[in-house]
């Protein structure tokens, strides 16, 4: 390969050791959390603000405790 040629490199993945299925499950859980009413949120010990914040996270935003896996 000459010095002017470059190879395409895959984009860096954040937390790539966490499987897609695990991330998808997390996404589904966040969507379910977003659908809970005030009584359901009280049952799990979250405020509406906390639930909205968690539900707004992307599939790439995993809990810090998962990142050391």
pLDDT per residue of the chain (69 residues) written in tens, 0 to 9: 555 555 555 544 555 678 889 899 999 999 999 999 999 999 999 999 999 999 999 988 888 888 765
Is the pTM for the entire model greater than 0.85?
A: no
Rounded Cα–Cα distance for residues 30 and 61 (Å): 11
pLDDT at residue 56 in the model: 94
What's CA 58's distance to the chain center, in Å? 5
């Amino acid at each position: 390969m000459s010095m002017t040629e470059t190879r395409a490199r895959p984009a860096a993945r954040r937390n790539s050791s966490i499987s897609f299925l695990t991330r998808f499950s997390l996404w589904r859980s966040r969507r379910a959390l977003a659908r809970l009413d005030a009584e359901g949120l009280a049952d799990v010990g979250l405020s509406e603000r906390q639930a909205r914040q968690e539900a707004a996270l992307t599939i790439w935003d995993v809990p810090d405790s998962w990142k050391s896996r």
